[in-house]
Amino acid sequence: MKSIYDYSLKDLEKYFLSIGEKKFKAVQIYDWLYKKRVDSFEEMTNLKQELIKHLIEQFSFEHLEILSRLDDVDVYKYLFKLNDGNKIEAVLMHHDYGNSLCVSTQVGCNMSCAFCESGRLKKVRNLIPSEMILPILQIERDLKIRISHIVLMGIGEPFDNYENVMKFLDIVNEPKGIELGSRHITISTCGVVPKILDFMDNDKQVNLAISLHASNDNLRNKLMPINKVYNLQLLLNTIKKYVAKTNRRVTLEYIMLKDVNDSISHARELADLVKGINCYVNLIPYNETSHIEFKKSSKERILKFYDCLKRNNVNVTIRREFGSKVMAACGQLRSNYEEGS
């Protein structure tokens, strides 16, 4: 039985037409699900009992179990249990511009980035749209807040789950539903070039972020195995095509790893690499984990790196640090739970 939360508004309209009902029933259900936030079909009082009975027989109406919630200053880390027993994470961060939720797209990850906790436990399966939607609804209810921004940057590679992620975007972006603006949504990819090209032609106004994390191929090959398939030259050429087609600026994410990628020579190399591209570089202080040997760069070293990029006319920001006390690194809470540590 398929979850009602897996359906976009257009999907539901088609479904109701297929069973001889008026398609406006889909709008009514979306209003109950995402505006009124009911917990059952029985609460949808403007639907006939016969239709409610049909919906109960055809669709599930589930919630996810919250296994853990860890709190720190302006950050909440959630561990959810899916209906099949697998576990995913979500991180809510309070910013001055609103509440941003980091959403997972897979159970585990096959990208095997050396610094990333998510990839230590390999991909089990893709998440379906409802498993990306339900954490939003449940966290809003749990914290009594409105989520204003979503980042697909949790466990998993979003472009390795492309179709489900596109359906998820349709659902969260729907004005008659959750109504989250496209420009408040960011997809982060480690550089799956064919899917970046597909996304470029998808005509969604969603922000794109690229996990770069290295300024040359030798280093990126060591940190991110995907670079051996789609190297920096190919990736950057693809980014240029994306910018030219969409006229949208791209974010380049760069995790600062002590004595690995944080020297002034790396900064100069990075400045040369991104020259002429409509982008900005987001320097990310590393969240250390007990399972991985990398350490975060010192504040002094990050500031010197930042200054070097600035002097070379690169648009650059330093991401505020979040959640060092709540295992906020992607996959860290899940792996600790699974491994009993």
- Domain boundaries, given as residue ranges, for the chain: 2-60, 65-339
Distance CA 38, CA 34 (A): 8
Catalytic residue among 13, 89, 131, 253: 89
| The pLDDT value given to residue 130 | 98
Nearest C-alpha neighbor of 152 from the set 142, 143, 161:
161
| The pLDDT value given to residue 158 | 98
Structure tokens at 293: 């040997």
Catalytic residue among 116, 190, 308, 330: 330
Q: What value does the CA radius of gyration of the chain take, rounded to a whole number of Å?
A: 21
Backbone φ/ψ region at 9: left (φ over 0), alpha (ψ -120 to 50), beta: alpha
Please measure the distance between the N-terminal and C-terminal CA atoms of the chain and give it in whole angstroms.
35
Neighbour-count burial for 99-131, b at 16+ CB within 10 Å, e otherwise = bbbbbbbbbbbebebebbbbbbbebeebbbbbb
Nearest C-alpha neighbor of 86 from the set 131, 130, 120:
131
DSSP for residue 35: I
Residue 27, SS3 per DSSP: helix
| The pLDDT value given to residue 1 | 87
DSSP for residue 319: P
Q: Which fold has domain 2-60?
A: DNA polymerase; domain 1 (1.10.150)
Cβ neighbours around 205 below 10 Å, total: 12
Residues of the chain with pLDDT under 70: 119, 323-341
Q: What is 65-339's CATH number?
A: 3.20.20.70
| The pLDDT value given to residue 62 | 87
| The pLDDT value given to residue 118 | 75
pTM of this structure: 0.93
Catalytic site includes residue 89: yes
